[in-house]
Amino acid sequence: MFSDKELNPKIPYGAQDISQADIDAVNEVLRSEFLTQGPVVPRFELSVASMCDAQYAVAVNSATSALHLACLALGVEPGDSVWTTPTTFVATANCAIYCGANIDFVDIDPLTYNMSTECLREKLMQSKLRGKLPKVVIAVHLCGQSCDMEAIYLLAKEYGFCVIEDASHAIGGQYKKHAIGSCMFSDITVFSFHPVKIITTGEGGMAVTNRPELAERMRLLRSHGVTNDIFKMSPRREGQIWNYQQIDLGYNYRLTDIQAALGLSQMKRLDEFLAKRRAIAKKYNERLSNFKITIPWQHSDAISSYHLYPVRIKESLCGRTQKEVYEIFHKNNVCVNLHYIPIYLHPYYEAKGFKEGYCPESELYFQEAITLPIYPTMSAASFERIISVLEDCIN
Ligand SMILES: *Cc1c(COP(=O)(O)O)cnc(C)c1O
């Protein structure tokens, strides 16, 4: 098998694709008047909002910040409950803790790895009996495939909670012919522009919504809770200069114009990125179809943006443990990854009282899943190397 690192340069699990046009767009801002939030930020917001058919978009410095602002805008406070799935990045849960709220977890569906609507319904029924329903449920579109949003939305109406879509993986994906981010079945959708995601701004995120009051609140809170809108300011004594007022406790979560320029330029390449990711996923599906592993299952209502391509390794089927396969890949300089450790098993969350066994499907997935590399600039040679390492190791 491969050992020469010269012949086998590192294959990452994900990577950005920066073009000359992207670089030129950033350079243009560097020579302009505004470096931080200026005229390019609203152009980037408009580009994302119009692509996904949402009314309002609020750009911020990360998806983590967007999740925090989304929770605040929906009124999440100490004593409230926020629910999500354990199979996601920790930021999806941390945003509730930032607001002083309690976090709880709904297990995943064994086919899509998204929130199981059956488990959600069951947990809602039991929680209603105990009189403690969630204020917000955060649905994560894992790997870029949408959750069953219509079912979640119907439960939201029935039980009276708000819905945030964590679409950090999923810009460009679709659900029932609607672009993810249309917020047809949610209050707010959040995107991430971290370099491993579908498009990048270095660091960055965005919240989109169709509810003007939520957009306004997120805009206020992304910049210290400060306003210069005369109609929102309290009257003060004649003769004093009040050119702005802080009217709420906000943060500095602003995106820079430098980042927005990169994002705007990357948005022009979104279709190209999606086409390349989908082509790689299709090739994986074809080539891995006779391997004794589980490839990602796609719901017919969803078109994935394929941020991730996880496969499941069962020792009883292929004779190798997930950990062995993971290590063989890394020995061969293929940086496969794991998405995700169930959040509540992290020490910080364990200390809140969560125990192993809480969400069995998420834990089983954690025991079996490995994320194969997928990114738009992947070469045919890299693809063949990945297939051949896996073939040598399990078949
Ligand atoms: C990446 C990611 C985040 C956080 O995004 P940042 O932009 O890095 O803050 C949140 N949720 C999920 C599911 C993610 O993958």
User: What does each of the 395 residues of the chain score in pLDDT, given as a tens digit?
Assistant: 444 555 679 999 999 999 999 999 999 999 999 999 999 999 999 999 999 999 999 999 999 999 999 999 999 999 999 999 999 999 999 999 999 999 999 999 999 999 999 999 999 999 999 999 999 999 999 999 999 999 999 999 999 999 999 999 999 999 999 999 999 999 999 999 999 999 999 999 999 999 999 999 999 999 999 999 999 999 999 999 999 999 999 999 999 999 999 999 999 999 999 999 999 999 999 999 999 999 999 999 999 999 999 999 999 999 999 999 999 999 999 999 999 999 999 999 999 999 999 999 999 999 999 999 999 999 999 999 999 999 999 97
Please provide residue 4's backbone torsions phi and psi, each rounded to the nearest 5 degrees: -70, 115
CB atoms within 10 A of CB 211: 16
What is the best residue among 194, 222, 251 to mutate for testing ligand 1's pocket, by most ligand atoms within 8 Å of CB? Answer: 194
344 cis-preceded (ω within 30 degrees of 0): no
SS3 at position 28: helix
Q: Is the CB of 206 under 6 A from ligand 1?
A: no
CB atoms within 10 A of CB 91: 21
- Residue 196 CA: nearest ligand 1 atom is 1
Q: Is the CB of 371 under 6 A from ligand 1?
A: no
pLDDT for 8: 77
Q: Could you give the CA distance from residue 245 to residue 19 in angstroms, rounded to a whole number?
A: 41
Burial class (CB in 10 A: 0-12, 13-18, 19+), 179: buried
List the alpha helices (DSSP H) in the chain.
20-30, 40-52, 63-73, 91-98, 117-129, 149-159, 212-222, 257-267, 270-288, 315-318, 322-331, 347-350, 360-368, 380-394
Q: Is the CB of 92 under 6 A from ligand 1?
A: yes
CA of 94 to the centre of ligand 1 (A): 11
Q: Could you give the CA distance from residue 62 to residue 141 in angstroms, rounded to a whole number?
A: 17
CA of 63 to the centre of ligand 1 (A): 5
CA of 192 to the centre of ligand 1 (A): 6
Q: Could you give the CA distance from residue 346 to residue 67 in angstroms, rounded to a whole number?
A: 20
* Helix, strand, coil fractions of the chain, as percent rounded to 5: 40, 15, 45
pLDDT for 1: 45
CA of 168 to the centre of ligand 1 (A): 5
